[in-house]
Amino acid sequence: MNFLTLAADTSTPINYFPIALQLIIAIGFVVVMMGITHLIGPKRKTNDKLINFESGIPSVGNARQPMGIKYFLVAILFVLFDVEVIFFYPYAINFRFLGWDGFMEVILFVAFFLCGFIYIIKKGALDWEE
């Protein structure tokens, strides 16, 4: 059994050698670069550098105070609707191939999308005043 017949069989470990080699080189590169930057990087620890940075605003009070759920609700709704909008991309690419059947399916998708949006508005999920 020579190397060519061994390489032709896809279930042999030799066919995974390039992937393993690339993985080892990538991990090694990351480890070496992090080690080098840690060793030769500047080490000036001052009081100004050791305090927490709050976007230029002085921190006030305890960071463990409860936060309004509205922020998280809007963030989750943004992700939800953002992902739904991504589904328009395949239709935009293939709209000629899909024809009128595809157009009707997209209209149905938009109708479901709007039903969910109307439900969210009716529930008051986007009302910030309390």
Q: Do 113 and 121 contact (CB within 8 A), yes or no?
A: no
Q: How many CB atoms lie under 10 A from the CB of residue 128?
A: 9
- Every domain of the chain and the residues it spans: 3-123
**Position of tokens 């066919």?**
15
pLDDT tens per residue, the chain (130 residues)? 555 555 556 677 788 888 999 999 999 999 999 999 999 988 888 887 777 766 767 667 776 777 777 778 888 888 888 888 888 888 888 888 888 998 899 899 889 888 988 998 888 877 776 5
CATH entry 1.10.10 includes domain 3-123: no
Task: Report pTM.
Answer: 0.44
State the Cα–Cα distance between residues 113 and 81, nearest whole angstrom. 8
State the Cα–Cα distance between residues 89 and 83, nearest whole angstrom. 11
